[in-house]
Amino acid sequence: MIRRGTVLLILVCMALPLAACGKKGTPHHPGPASEVTYPRTYPAPD
């Protein structure tokens, strides 16, 4: 029983740092929306 508890504790301690890696919200482009040039095609047409 002690061994099972120890393994569970180790697994929880290994998984906790991953909780900080989640995304906070939807991504958005920096700057004002009128000046955002993305997405665009690459390479730029001549």
- Identify the residue whose tokens are 């998984």: 15
Q: According to the model, what pLDDT value does residue 4 have?
A: 92
Contact 29, 36 (CB under 8 A): yes
d(CA 17, CA 15): 6
Q: Residue 30 has what DSSP assignment?
A: S
- What pLDDT is attached to residue 2? 82
Q: Which two tokens stand for residue 36?
A: 């955002």
Summarize pLDDT for 1-46 with one digit per residue, the tens.
789 999 999 999 998 888 766 667 777 777 787 777 767 777 877 6
